[in-house]
């Protein structure tokens, strides 16, 4: 909105970085979930199911925790909409 304002209030600034985080999170998640594809090369056989499963669930719960933290801060922003960056 206000075009001239280059420096924002601290709170507004934080909120915008939270939104950036929310946008970044699925990208990080996607990369992490696709990562196991790289593990398999011609020389090494497939990784073990048990370890792979542990890895995936670790990423999974990590994402859930991050989303939880972000959602607590973004709840109210979502309600009234009108957020620009």
Kindly list the residues in this chain that would bind another protein in the complex (CB under 8 A): 1, 19, 22-23, 25-27, 29-30, 33-34, 36-37, 39-40, 45-50, 52-53, 56-57, 60-61, 63-68, 70-72, 74-76, 78-79, 81-84
Give whichever of 8 and 64 is closer to another protein, judged by the CB atom: 64
Whether 77 contacts 19, CB under 8 Å: yes
Q: How far is 82 from 58, CA to CA, in rounded Å?
A: 35
Give Cβ neighbours of residue 24 (< 8 Å, ≥ 6 apart): none
Query: CB 13 → another protein: shortest distance, Å?
Result: 17
């Amino acid at each position: 909105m206000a075009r001239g304002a280059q420096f924002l209030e601290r709170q507004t600034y934080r909120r915008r970085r939270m939104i950036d985080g929310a946008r970044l999170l699925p990208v990080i998640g996607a990369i992490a979930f696709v990562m196991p594809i790289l593990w398999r090369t011609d020389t090494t056989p497939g990784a073990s199911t048990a370890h792979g499963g542990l890895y995936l669930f670790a990423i999974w719960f990590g994402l859930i925790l991050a989303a939880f933290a972000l959602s607590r801060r973004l709840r109210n922003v979502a309600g009234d909409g009108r957020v620009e960056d």
